[in-house]
Amino acid sequence: MDMTPLWVFGYASLTWNPGFDFEESVIGTLPGYRRSFSMRSIHHRGTPEAPGLVLALHEETGAACTGLGFRVAPQKTEATLDYLRARELISSAYLERSLPLMLEDGREVRAVTYVLDTGHAQYCKGLPLEDQAQIIARAVGGRGPNTEYLYNTATHLRDLGIEDAELTWLETRVRALDNV
Closest CA to 129 of 177, 95, 96: 177
- Give, in degrees to the nearest 5, the angle at Cα 111 between 160 and 79: 100
* Domain annotation covers residue 74: yes
pLDDT in tens, 96-110: 999 999 999 999 999
Q: Which pLDDT band, with edges at 50, 70 and 90, does 180 fall under?
A: low
Query: Could you say which of 59, 78, 88, 148 is catalytic?
Result: 88
pLDDT at 52: 96
pLDDT at 144: 92
Helix %, strand %, coil % of the chain (to 5): 30, 40, 30
**Bridge partner residues of 167 (DSSP):** none
Residue 88: active-site member: yes
Structure pTM? 0.91
- Tally of domains within the chain: 1
- Pairing label, strands 52-72, 94-103: unpaired
* Domain annotation covers residue 1: no
CATH number of the domain enclosing 118? 3.10.490.10
pLDDT in tens, 63-118: 999 999 999 999 999 999 999 999 888 778 899 999 999 999 999 999 999 999 99
pLDDT at 16: 94
Look up the domain containing 67 and give its range.
6-178
Q: Which pLDDT band, with edges at 50, 70 and 90, does 137 fall under?
A: very high
pLDDT at 2: 54
Q: Which pLDDT band, with edges at 50, 70 and 90, does 51 fall under?
A: very high
